[in-house]
Structure 1
Amino acid sequence: MAWKSRTRSLQVFDTGQSADTVEWCPVPPCHNILVCGTYQLQKGAGVDEATPTRSGHLYLFDFRREAPMSPPLTELQRVDTPAILDVKWCHVSVSEKAILGAAAATGELQLYAMSASQEGSRSLQPLSSLEVGAERLTLSLDWSTGRMDSSDVRVVCSDSAGCISVLSLDEGSLTTLSQWKAHDFEAWISAFSYWDTQLVYTGGDDCKLKGWDLRMGPSCPTVTSKRHSMGVCSIQSNPHREHILATGSYDEQVLLWDGRNMRQPLSETATGGGVWRLKWHPTNPDLLLAACMHNDFHILHCQQALESSAGACPIVASYILHNSLAYGADWSRVSLDEPAPCSPVAAEPKESFAESRGHLRIQYESPTASFDTSLEDDTGRYIPESVTAPSSAPAVGPAPTPDHDAASVSCLLATCSFYDHMLHVWRWDWTPEEAPQGTEQR
């Protein structure tokens, strides 16, 4: 079955400072809530010139599609914080509130609770914070609740000293359960196995992927893999398929693993850029979103690789409208049942085209305007609406033949990039391509 892939930019927002992490809220009824964290390095002055400071903002947005010509994203709140390197929502409500965790450059894990006013507006209120170590940066965090299980709410975080901390959340307060030295250099990433939350995976700048069983204590890892040739900076457990793990590295490879046999990955996919973040789709077990630093954002289809170890995962869509390091990326649970809107002719931006790896890159005249004019053809290349697509183009990869994806897929996503401090909200539509009349569809 042939499939047509199409992406559309819905809005671009200038965050002012370097943007490095975005997260949609997974807790109903707050799926329309989006957060974005920023990181700004500021050189010291005077006697403190050798001691730079790292500041940031935490943005809270509401996504609404009320009118075709209105920007769907509304800024609800902007919180001044230390520089933020990662944010993650707890997947379940705690005391009937959505809880956000933020990894801060001060070596703290900060928690915020989202509250609603009588008028219905939402805001983030500080809940708790805990310093995981002095003179270090907290680099990542993950919640144990990835399968929407609220029976045991814990957080794992990693830091620039190579240490891993496991924390519990009880009555709004954080308590350290264990902390240990896991990597020789920066521990870029830490993640729970969502199927067995006594298992934790970590990756570091020492090029090692490690697994830890908290029941055995952290004195020795249960898994140590050097399969990645550079620093391991992204890990996520698949919440839909038991034992499946995705990892990414500065070596530009996405590896899929079966946690029962970590000697060899199930699949290896080259992305053309260091893989800073990986996110499994919230409901589809086969779709994986990758933020690939110098090579934009890509959606991988992993079904064949997982079910038959059939080589690399095909890239079914790419979003290339960022002009800086692709860092933050996340799927939304917002339903997009309505058809994609038409692009407003009067609001089309000026376009200048520079060919890059076979793509046409659109430069926006106003980075904070709301445009709906970017298209992607079925080979993954962007084509402006006023330009006719070429008749032939190199394929993105072998076309997937999903058994259970006969229906269309429509997704809302958010991505952010670093030095140009841009947050993009966009949609992706993936539909079966109808066979021409008179032709039998095989």
Structure 2
Amino acid sequence: MGSSRTRNLQVFDTELSADTVEWCPLPHYAHIVACGTYQLQKDDEKNPSRIGRLYLFQFDQQQSFTPPLTEIQRIDTPAILDLKWCHTEIYERPLLGMATACGEIQLHRLRDTQDGRCALERVLSTELGPNRLALSLDWSTGRGDSANPRVVTSDSTGSLTVLSLAEDNLSAVSQWKAHDFEAWISAFSYWDTQLVYSGGDDCKLKGWDLRMGPSSPTFTSKRHSMGVCSIHSNPHREHILATGSYDENVLLWDGRNMRQPLSETAVGGGVWRLKWHPVHEHLLLAACMHNDFHILHCQQAADGNEGPCPILASYILHNSLAYGADWSRLPLSGPPPSSPTTETTPASLTLTEPKGHLRIQYESPTASFDTALEDECGRYIPDHTTAVSAPAPVPGVGDNPASLSCLLASCSFYDHMLHVWRWDWSPETETQSAETGPTPSS
């Protein structure tokens, strides 16, 4: 199977609960990462307030004697539920979208400062409506098209809103009721941006065609057994879609046939965020709430072969709910540094059912509901008896299958921590497998 390992590079205390982190996708600013936080203030029991903070960091791997991650800005804001950079420059600058607990979508422009660093400045905003929390957002620019940039957002009333960005104005093009309860997630199909996907606390995954209007979805899937809270369209392979749920499963879909998923992978925790790798089309990062962060290899499933996606690596150093996660486009140079927090992860992961009576409460970051993961008899609902193992050998990725090094960031909620870490993978090739036989992961 080759070797796979994750190494922590730095940990940062965000003070408020951290729930979203995003690396800038634009090459010139790939060293910039933003992190959003959410804190429920219960001073007033009847009207609790939700506060947040937006952090901006820069990463410099060339610094030998200082930590590579440096905070360069912090902005107090309403509580932040989601952050997403536009994949292309708008007005010749990077643009960061932010979904807030006051039902507002804010756009912040990244500008260069006189000291050679960067800073965010708020340039546009729009309110989605009264008495709602903006829960997610996605840009239509996932494949680099900047001709007609739009944002789709979901909110706590179960509604979706499509926003258009034109002539220094962010305005709603359409808004409709999509789900019975919270609409946790919304996402564009990056290959046809007239198609939108959404998932909600009503356990439904839905598709929408903006050309047909929002009167009825193009499909409704009840394949997930609990709330659907993550969706990401693959920017490299047309029709491939990944979804995740509180039911602790990652489903891979072919958008042309939404009756049945291509694969189902049990990951042992509610799947709050999914991120396809920005370059390598088969690598999928999953933030799994109660079960850390995992990297899945999805090639065989995307090619139509049945079975779960093998888990190549797991990052297990967070001590709280795993919420935010993202890949960096920044290339890593040199060998990984030695670190006392190094852990070795197997290229396959077996998830077993907990012994004894385990009660887990899933708390949404909005603190608006709890989901008890047990049935009336006290049995744990998600079934983890399935072994998730990789067929051997796992194909390599990219132009150099001999090795791959990736930089990632992740954040966790109650311990308010941001981690920056690297993943090094040397996949076993078919030639190596034939010559040496099976070898354990190192």
Smaller-chain TM-score range?
A: 0.7 to 0.9
Alpha-carbon distance in 2 for matches of 1:395, 1:263? 23
**1:378 offset after TM fit, Å?**
4.0
Counterpart for residue 401 of structure 1:
394
**1:298 offset after TM fit, Å?**
0.3
Contact 2:53 2:80 in 1 (8 A): yes
Contact 1:318 1:380 in 2 (8 A): no
Write out aligned runs for 1:221-232 (5 A).
221-232=217-228
**1:70 offset after TM fit, Å?**
1.7
SS of 1:440's equivalent in the other structure is: helix
Counterpart for residue 291 of structure 1:
287
Write out aligned runs for 1:280-359 (5 A).
280-343=276-339, 348=340
SS of 1:304's equivalent in the other structure is: helix
Counterpart for residue 417 of structure 2:
422
Q: Does 1:12 align with 2:8?
A: no
Contact 2:396 2:429 in 1 (8 A): no
Counterpart for residue 123 of structure 1:
119
Amino acid at match of 1:279: K
Alpha-carbon distance in 1 for matches of 2:147, 2:169? 16
**1:408 offset after TM fit, Å?**
0.9
Amino acid at match of 1:55: I
**Aligned with residue 244 of structure 1, among 220, 235, 240:** 240
Counterpart for residue 358 of structure 1:
none
Write out aligned runs for 1:25-64 (5 A).
25-45=24-44, 49-64=45-60
Write out aligned runs for 1:197-236 (5 A).
197-236=193-232
Q: Deviations over 1:284-317 (max 9, x none)?
A: 0000000000000000000111113331000000
Q: Does 1:440 align with 2:439?
A: no
Counterpart for residue 107 of structure 1:
103
Structure 1 gap ranges (5+): 349-372, 382-393
Q: Deviations over 1:110-146 (max 9, x none)?
A: 1100010133110000011100011110000000000
**What is the alpha-carbon root mean square deviation over aligned residues?**
1.9
Alpha-carbon distance in 1 for matches of 2:389, 2:207? 33
Structure 2 gap ranges (5+): 350-386, 438-442
**4+ long deviations beyond 3 Å:** 377-381, 394-400, 432-435
Contact 1:304 1:400 in 2 (8 A): no
Counterpart for residue 374 of structure 1:
342
Amino acid at match of 1:223: F
**Aligned with residue 276 of structure 1, among 272, 277, 289:** 272
**1:379 offset after TM fit, Å?**
4.5
Normalised to the residue count of structure 1, the TM-score between the two structures is: 0.87
**1:434 offset after TM fit, Å?**
9.2
Counterpart for residue 374 of structure 2:
none
Alpha-carbon distance in 1 for matches of 2:397, 2:3? 16
Distance verdict in 2 for CA 1:399–1:291, change over 3 Å: farther
Alpha-carbon distance in 2 for matches of 1:197, 1:330? 22
Q: Does 1:262 align with 2:258?
A: yes
Write out aligned runs for 1:89-108 (5 A).
89-108=85-104
SS of 1:127's equivalent in the other structure is: strand
Amino acid at match of 2:208: W
Counterpart for residue 22 of structure 2:
23
Alpha-carbon distance in 1 for matches of 2:15, 2:95? 25
Alpha-carbon distance in 2 for matches of 1:32, 1:248? 28
Counterpart for residue 79 of structure 2:
83
**1:400 offset after TM fit, Å?**
4.7
Q: Does 1:164 align with 2:160?
A: yes
Counterpart for residue 179 of structure 2:
183
SS of 2:344's equivalent in the other structure is: coil
SS of 2:146's equivalent in the other structure is: coil
Counterpart for residue 360 of structure 1:
none
Contact 1:275 1:292 in 2 (8 A): yes
Contact 2:310 2:388 in 1 (8 A): no
Contact 1:202 1:210 in 2 (8 A): yes
Counterpart for residue 73 of structure 1:
69
Contact 1:209 1:224 in 2 (8 A): yes
Contact 1:207 1:228 in 2 (8 A): yes
Alpha-carbon distance in 2 for matches of 1:168, 1:428? 37
Counterpart for residue 139 of structure 1:
135
Q: Deviations over 1:70-124 (max 9, x none)?
A: 2110000000000000000000000110000000000000110001013311000
Normalised to the residue count of structure 2, the TM-score between the two structures is: 0.87
Alpha-carbon distance in 1 for matches of 2:270, 2:41? 25
**1:334 offset after TM fit, Å?**
0.4
Alpha-carbon distance in 2 for matches of 1:192, 1:377? 33
Contact 1:379 1:395 in 2 (8 A): no
Alpha-carbon distance in 2 for matches of 1:400, 1:233? 32
Distance verdict in 2 for CA 1:269–1:143, change over 3 Å: same
**1:395 offset after TM fit, Å?**
8.1
